[in-house]
Amino acid sequence: MVITSLLSAAARRCSRSASAIVRREVTGFHDLTIDGCAASRKSSKLRSVASPTFEAAGHRWRIWFYPRGRLWARPGAMSVYLELANGDSGAADRLDEDDDDDPVEIRFSLLDQDGNPLPKHTRSKSDYFFNVWPMCKGGFANFVKWKDVEESGCLKDDRITIRCDIMLSRNYSEDVVDDDDDCAAAAAPARVVVPPSDLHEHLGGLLRREHGTTDVTIDAGGGATYGAHGSLLAVRSPVFAAELAAATKKSGSGGIRGPTIIKVEGIEPRMMKAMLHFIYTDTLPPEMAAEQEEEVAMARSLLAAAARYKLDRLKLVCEEKLCERIGVDTVAGNLALARQHGCQVLAAVCMEFIARPGNLKAVTETHEFHKIKASSPGLFIDLLMKKLA
């Protein structure tokens, strides 16, 4: 009886506590002045300029300005993007733990001569996550056209100002009160936290054979084989879809069948592996962030593979990488590749680089140019015409 009474008393007694999670919206803005607009408009397409890092809304950021737009921009449009730059001070380029479950709202505005945002030329995005992958940027490929800038009256003394507003929510300190009086415990309301999508990680796990079984074996030659899932290959690439359909028809429907084997010739095994990584995750493999010379070689090979298998987005990603790696030693090879696979933006960027004073002579003296000269005489003629123009 005594023991029962003690247990009953303990059951009636509870520890009461109360806490407050204070959530506040943190905002900040940065004004970026573009001085020398006339010269900016003559720069190469995809050429970008980064602002110095600045602090706003409790984090460090930088703005990327593309005077003639990124790869997806319409003709005559400028592009602006915001990038998290916390890593410049030694930390990883990620939001704080308290912030990384919530989207960031960003807004870019063209300012009039009095420093006021023009609603007509204001673009905003309210659900951007900067923690999805390293160095990701949020912004607008078609922010505003130069023609509209001129008509707006914002252009003065060959300069314009663009404002970037940043808004996010943060958790602040908790106040906790403990009370051991007898009480009826009250449950705090639950907060649902929806993390960024990690579908690409799960699909990447499928590629690494961490889950399930594969029904396709890709033979890349040299003893290199890769397991894959036919349904995913078919959805992503019409070429793979046709090859799988042909292989299935050839094998017939009788008996127990093993994995469908697809032989791939003319693509290096490591490029096949990189292409499969993109098919499953929609991202480039980590090894693409190599030294510039190696990165260019990989981007070229991967672009050719993407064109062959009609992976249009991968082709554009590689084209953009090559546009950002134009130099005397690479422009001839990039131009030949652009002509071969119909990469119009890359071809235009290459020809624009060659047309600059002194560049044509330097390009024609490179080892790469002489290698291409024999196999692509049309390219050689184009360069000569450029010189005579």
pLDDT tens across 118-156, in order?
989 999 887 776 654 445 678 888 899 999 999 999 998
- Per mean pLDDT, which range of 132-146, 257-271, 360-374 is the poorest? 132-146
Indicate if the pLDDT at residue 182 is higher than 60.
Answer: no
**Mean of per-residue pLDDT scores for the chain:** 79
Instruction: Report which listed range, 32-46, 160-174, 246-260, 305-319, is most confident.
Output: 305-319
The confidence score (pLDDT) of residue 264 equals 93
Helix (H, G, I), strand (E, B) or coil at 45: coil
What are the residues whose beta carbons fall under 8 Å from the beta carbon of 388, sequence distance 6 or more?
none
Has residue 114 got a pLDDT over 80? yes
Q: How far apart are CA 215 and CA 230, in angstroms?
A: 6
Confidence bin at 241 (pLDDT 50/70/90): very high
Specify the pLDDT at position 102: 64
Task: Output the pLDDT for position 20.
Answer: 61
> What is the C-alpha to C-alpha distance for residues 27 and 81, in angstroms, rounded to an integer?
18
Which of 20-34, 162-176, 318-332 holds the top average pLDDT?
A: 318-332
Q: Which residues of 89-116 are buried (b: 16+ CB within 10 A; e: fewer)?
A: eeeebebeeebebbbbbbbbbbbbeeee
Q: How far apart, in Å, are the Cα atoms of 18 and each of 21, 23, 159, 181?
A: 10, 16, 55, 13
Higher pLDDT, 172 or 226: 226
- For residue 252, is pLDDT > 50? yes
pLDDT value at 25 more than 80: no
Q: Is the pLDDT of residue 269 over 80?
A: yes
Mean pLDDT of all residues in 228-254: 87
Numbered ranges of CATH 2.60.210.10 in the chain:
23-171
User: Does the pLDDT of residue 236 top 90, yes or no?
Assistant: yes
Neighbour count for residue 21 (Cβ, 10 Å): 12
Predicted pLDDT of residue 179: 53
* pLDDT confidence tier of residue 89, bands split at 50, 70 and 90: very low
CATH architecture of residue range(s) 23-171: Sandwich (2.60)
Question: Taking the domain 198-289, which CATH number applies?
Answer: 3.30.710.10
Q: Report residue 55: phi and psi, to 5°.
A: -100, 135
Q: In the chain, which residues fall in CATH 3.30.710.10?
A: 198-289
Q: How many CB atoms lie within 10 A of CB 127?
A: 9
pLDDT tops 70 at residue 101: no
> CA–CA separation, 241 vs 220, rounded Å?
17
